[in-house]
Amino acid sequence: MNWLLIALAAFLCGSIPFSVWLSRLFYRQDPRAYGDGNPGAVNTFRMSKPWLGILVLLLDVSKAVLPVGVAYGMLGLRGIPMAVIAIAPMLGHAFSPFLRFRGGKALACALGVWIGLGGWSIAGAAVLGAVLGKAFFTNDGWGALTGLVFVLPAIFIFQADKLLLVVWLLQAALLTYTLRTDLAKAPQFKPWLKRLFTIPRP
Q: Which of 85, 79, 74, 75 is nearest to 13 (CA)?
A: 85
Average pLDDT of span 63-77: 97
DSSP secondary structure letter of residue 200: P
The answer to whether 67 and 6 have CB atoms below 8 angstroms apart is yes
Average pLDDT in the chain: 93
State how far the alpha carbon of 185 is from the alpha carbons of 26, 103, 106, 188, in Å. 36, 21, 20, 9
Q: Find the helix or strand (DSSP H, E) in which 120 lies.
A: helix 120-136
CA 37 to chain centre: 16
pTM of the model: 0.93
Confidence check: pLDDT of 193 > 80: no
Pick the more confident residue, 72 or 195: 72
pLDDT band at 56 (very low <50, low <70, confident <90, very high): very high
Per-residue burial over 49-67, b = 16 or more CB atoms within 10 Å of its CB, e = otherwise:
beebbebbbebbbbbbbbb
- Assign 126 a pLDDT band (cuts: 50, 70, 90): very high
pLDDT of residue 196: 74
